[in-house]
Amino acid sequence: MNSDEFRKQGHEIVEWIARYYENIEQYPVRSRSLPGSVKGRLPLHPPSASEPFDNFLKDFDDIIMPGITHWQSPNFFAYFPANSSPPSVLAEMLTAALGAQCMIWETSPAAAELEERMMEWLREMTGLPEYFEGVIQDTASTATLVAMLTAREKATSFRSNGTGLFSSVTMRVYCSSQSHSSVEKGAGIAGIGRENVVRVPVREDFSLDPDKLRKAIDDDLAAGYVPCCVVATMGTTGTTAIDPLRMIGEICSEKRIWLHVDAALGGTALLLPEMRWMADGIEYADSLVFNPHKWMFTNFDCSAYFVRDAASLMRTFDILPEYLRTRTRGKVNDYRDWGIQLGRRFRALKLWAVIRTYGVDQLKEKIREHLRLAKMLAGMIEADKDFRLMAPVHLNTVCFRWQPAGMSDDVADRLNEKLNHLLNDTGKLYLSHTKTNGRYVIRIVTAQTEVQERHVAEAWRLIRETASAISSQGGAIDIE
Ligand SMILES: Cc1ncc(COP(=O)(O)O)c(C=O)c1O
């Protein structure tokens, strides 16, 4: 592709993206593709001859787009968001153009130093302690694994990296029964073992019960285990429960256990002073992760990982083959020492573009509005006698269930599942579900970059209308 062709196609693509964002509400939010339908349209073998780029664009529209679920639609209320925004997209284009591999300072000093500054900005924006040092990881799962690996090294006096875990004691990791699956996955990968993740029971509001944590740790100590890491969550995946950081922190400090805070979603809300109560006790934390790629309008992937003792982090990951020796070593941040992979994307650029283009004030406004929309919806649900709120609404997620008087719990389970599927099949919105206390619960997350009150109001209208249609047919609507 020569320069003229590149320019022509590039303009086309920017035009395509602008049109996509303008018309995004017209797409079915969740893809209607059936399994195998995309692959079935792709040639079995790669082309040997060159093709015009236009062919690629045409197939992108015809084959790929129908198989896309539109995460950037304001009617996307499922999971937690993976928000993008125009400045983020444009900055990502520049990142792709530069194609810089930012493993060490020398392989792009601007990337390393911008990352350093962006992490300082995020630390200030979220009110985190000044001694936290930060690095951008790809995902919260990786960041939590990084925390656990560092905790493991500290718990074994930095021996397990060298000699392996075979001769060591059995370590334990603690989190609540509501914590994200990445904790279990991380413990498995870290060699601690998934079975050594102690799932501590939660209180009525689904937050970790600190008394039960203390007991679990004491029991383990008595049995000869080595408590290695506690993961507290600021906004659990199911219901956005907030674990009591101060009480957990006091236990960790007393028992000298690494405290990692998984604020993958909730961290963004720390931009708002009125939400900083969630971080009460943060002085006890050894590390924290939050995802600008979830709720801070910075497209996937971008996870902000903060650590109190960066020296321990580096001691865990540092390895220095001859070909990576540089004259600046020790004087600059070589971020390859701050995590698992060697090669690193230039992720700080999109963060810089987002923070500057919105400005902190507008970011706060948006987040505050998302919180308001969740409360508004919760109010509408509470006011309807046929629906129930199933968890406190702290952040942007509302968990509810349709259960008119007289409907048994089991029937409500079945019909709420049906309601969820029927709504998602319309393509007009996309919801997800969880279970609380063993019961089926629908989740609606009001945090998409461009979501407005009218989208939430329409979602609620559709939910009620569909529930009423199920009701009038005696629950017999087919969802297959
Ligand atoms: C609380 C929490 N932690 C971790 C994760 C994993 O995030 P990531 O996809 O960045 O690994 C999620 C994902 O939704 C989450 O909700």
Residue nearest to atom 9 of ligand 1 (CA): 139
Buried b (16+ CB within 10 A) or exposed e, 401-439: bbbeeebeeeebbebbebbbebbbeebbbbbbbbebeeb
Distance CA 55, CA 9 (A): 12
Q: Which atom of ligand 1 is nearest to the CA of 144?
A: 4
Task: Tell which one of 291, 294, 399 to mutate to probe ligand 1, the residue whose CB is within 8 A of the most ligand atoms.
Answer: 291
Q: What is the pLDDT of residues 135-145, one digit of tens each?
A: 999 999 999 99
Residue 435 parent element (H or E)? strand 432-436
**Ligand 1: which atom is nearest the Cα of residue 143?**
11
Tell me what percent of the residues of the chain surpass a pLDDT of 90. 95
Buried b (16+ CB within 10 A) or exposed e, 166-204: eebeebbbbbbebbbebbbebbeebbbeeebbbbbebee
* Residue 141 Cα to ligand 1 middle (Å): 6
Q: Show the DSSP H helices in 383-452 as ranges.
A: 409-426
pLDDT digits (tens, 9 = 90+) for 457-471: 999 999 999 999 998
Per mean pLDDT, which range of 105-114, 318-327, 419-428 is the poorest?
318-327
Q: Per-residue pLDDT tens for 16-42?
A: 999 999 999 999 999 999 999 999 999
Instruction: State residue 347's pLDDT score.
Output: 97
Residues with CB under 6 A from ligand 1: 80, 139-141, 180, 182, 233, 236-237, 262, 264-265, 291, 303
d(CA 302, CA 449): 16
3-class DSSP state of 144: helix
Q: Would you state the structure tokens that stand for residue 365, as one six-digit string?
A: 């406004």
**203 neighbors 196 (Cβ within 8 angstroms):** no
Six token digits for residue 38: 């995309």
User: If you average pLDDT over residues 372-393, what whole number do you get?
Assistant: 97
- What digits encode the pLDDT tens for the residues 252-288? 999 999 999 999 999 999 999 999 999 999 999 999 9
How far apart, in Å, are the Cα atoms of 452 and each of 17, 80, 345, 362? 21, 17, 33, 15
Residue 289 CA to ligand 1 center (angstroms) comes to 10
210 in Cβ contact with 251 (< 8 Å)? yes
Tell me, what's the pLDDT at 82? Answer: 97
Give CA–CA dist 358/351, Å, rounded: 11
Q: Could you give the CA distance from residue 248 to residue 465 in angstroms, rounded to a whole number?
A: 44
Determine the pLDDT at residue 480.
43
Angle at 174 between CA 243 and CA 296, to 5 degrees: 45
Nearest to 90 by CA among 269, 356, 341: 356
Sheet holding 303-307, edge to edge: 133-137, 303-307, 287-290, 258-262, 226-233, 171-176, 197-200
Q: Which atom of ligand 1 has the smallest separation from the CA of 139?
A: 10
Amino acid at 69: T
Cis check for the bond before 301: say yes or no (omega within 30 of 0).
Answer: yes
Separation of CA 397 and ligand 1 centre (Å)? 14
- Total-model pTM: 0.95
Pairwise CA distance, residues 146 & 190, whole Å = 9
- Give me ligand 1 centre to Cα 365, in Å: 24
Per-residue pLDDT at 69 exceeds 90:
yes
